[in-house]
Amino acid sequence: MLYLIGTGIYNENLSRYDIIEILNNSDYIYIDTYTSPIDVYSLVKELTAIGISKEKIIVAYRRILEDEVDNIIKEAKTKDIVILVPGNPFIATTHNTLVSTAKKLGIKIGIIHGSSAICSSIAESGLHIYKFGGFATVVRREKCSSYRAYELIKSNRRRGFHTLILLEYDHETGYMMKPDEAIRILKEYGKLLDKDDLIIVICNLGKKNKKILPITISELNKIKWEDNDICILIIPGDLHFTEKEYLNLIRSELGWRKI
C-alpha cells in the first residue's frame, strides 16, 4: 500500500494516533524534500521522538520522486510505503503522477491531508478567498520560464482578482527565492507593479517567526531577508474596503503608514 501523508504546516499530523500507527507499521518512509520547503532535520527529530526508527526513513530528492519513482511503486506492491509531504500533498504534479502510476498497477492508496500553505496563506492575508483567481510559481530564469505567472497576475488584475505566487526552492542547494527577486523576475516579462503597488508577503507560515507583510514594492526593496525565510507572495487585484482596512490594521501594528 502507498500512503501520501501531509504533515501540515505545523507538522500537526505527527500527533495523530492513527498516523503514528501507519508510520510505525510502514516499511519505508520517504520524506519529500522536493515539492515544498522542509526542515528535514527537525522533521526527523520529531519522527524519532514519536518512536519511528531512523533506519526506515529515506530523505527523498527529486531524483527519487521523479526519475526513480518506479522503484517506490514496485516496493508498494508488497510493502507499506509512506511518502511524507510537508503541508498538504498534491501541491505538485509529482504527487498526481505518483498516485496515477500506483493506481494503474492496482496498488491501494491512502491520502491523509494536513493544513496547507496555500489555504493558510490566503487565510492570513485577510483577503477574501472568493477573489483569488489562481496560483503560479516563480523560478529562476535559467531554470524555467515564469511567463505563466506573469500572465496570470496580469489577467487576474484585469478582472480584479488576487493571485497567489509560490517561490522556487531547491533543497539540494539550499536555494530559497526571496520576494524581491521574484518581483524582479516577473517585471522582466513586461510592465507590472509600480513602486506604490501593494503586495502581501506571507513569511515562515506555521513557524514562531511568522510574518505577514502588506508592503509596497518600494518598501519591499528595503527589507533584508534571512537565508532561511520561506515566503509566499500574494499580488492583490482590486481591494474591497474591508480587505484594505484589514491590511492597514496589520500595517499600523507594524508601525507603517496607511495605504
Q: Which residues bind a second copy (CB under 8 A)?
A: 6, 8-10, 12-13, 15-17, 88-91, 93, 95-97, 99-100, 103-104, 111-116, 118-120, 122-124, 126, 128-137, 148, 155, 159, 161, 206, 242-243, 245-246, 249-250, 253
**Which among 41, 62, 54, 46 is positioned nearest to 7, based on CA atoms?**
46
Q: Which is nearer to a second copy, 56 or 113 (CB)?
A: 113
Q: Which is nearer to a second copy, 2 or 217 (CB)?
A: 2
C-alpha cell at 89: 500533498
Q: Which is nearer to a second copy, 41 or 130 (CB)?
A: 130
**Which own/partner contact pairs does 207-216 have at CB distance under 8 Å and 24+ positions apart?**
210/124, 212/124, 212/125, 212/250, 213/254, 214/125, 214/247, 214/248, 214/250, 214/251, 214/259, 215/256, 216/259
C-alpha cell at 120: 493558510
Max CA separation in the chain (angstroms): 61
Give exposure, 114-143, as e/b (b: 16+ Cβ within 10 Å): bbbbbebbbebbbbeeebbbeebbbbeeee
Shortest distance, position 226 Cβ to a second copy, whole Å: 22
Q: Which is nearer to a second copy, 38 or 217 (CB)?
A: 38
Shortest distance, position 204 Cβ to a second copy, whole Å: 14
Shortest distance, position 205 Cβ to a second copy, whole Å: 8
Shortest distance, position 113 Cβ to a second copy, whole Å: 4
Q: Which is nearer to a second copy, 114 or 217 (CB)?
A: 114
Shortest distance, position 239 Cβ to a second copy, whole Å: 12
Helix (H) or strand (E) holding 212: strand 211-216
Q: Which is nearer to a second copy, 114 or 179 (CB)?
A: 114
Shortest distance, position 39 Cβ to a second copy, whole Å: 18
Strands of 22-92 (E only): list them.
28-32, 57-60, 81-85
